Amino acid sequence: MLVVAAVVALNAPSATFLPGLARLLAKPRVEAGPLRYLWGQTSATGRLGDRDVTIRLQLKRSRYGQGYLVVAMRAGVGETLNATAIDARVHDDAGRRALFTLATRDVMLSVEDGWLAARWQPQGFVIFPGRFSAEHWRSVLDAMQRVAESLERAG
């Protein structure tokens, strides 16, 4: 019983983080359960404007493993792009400002299978995912939307 209480206490911040992030979306749906909780994997889906959004939170579950968060947004881009290729394609002012915002939020961008993904995987001694900040993550979602629009215009 003590072990279960310790696991629950250590996971308390993550228990509120994903639902908080999902509430920033329209029609949010959080997928969680006992097995996902034990594996440290939770996910959510929803919409931001006219775009589908999916979120995956992976908590650290091994000695050398790391936790990460991936926020993916549907974008009309048919090819695979890494962060460098995204940076080279985004030329408009709004898109460049959005890339700057995302860089200050320590997320790495990529595009795969029509999804713009922002991966947050903090390094060093960080309590992951920490306390949820609606302002912080709203700025990430808004910046992702601007980057997606910019990439679609660039064709």
* Cα distance between residue 20 and residue 25, in whole Å: 10
Which domain does 43 fall in, by range?
2-154
- Count how many residues are written for the chain: 155
What CATH number should be reported for the domain holding residue 55?
A: 3.30.1460
pTM of the model: 0.85
Binned at pLDDT 50, 70 and 90, residue 127 comes out as: confident
32-89 pLDDT, tens digit per residue, is: 776 656 667 899 999 999 999 999 999 876 666 688 999 999 999 989 999 999 999 9
- Judging by DSSP bridges, how do beta strands 51-58 and 26-31 pair with one another? unpaired
Binned at pLDDT 50, 70 and 90, residue 6 comes out as: very low
Beta partners for residue 140, in sequence order: none
Q: Determine the average pLDDT of the residues in 108-129.
A: 89
DSSP code, position 81: B
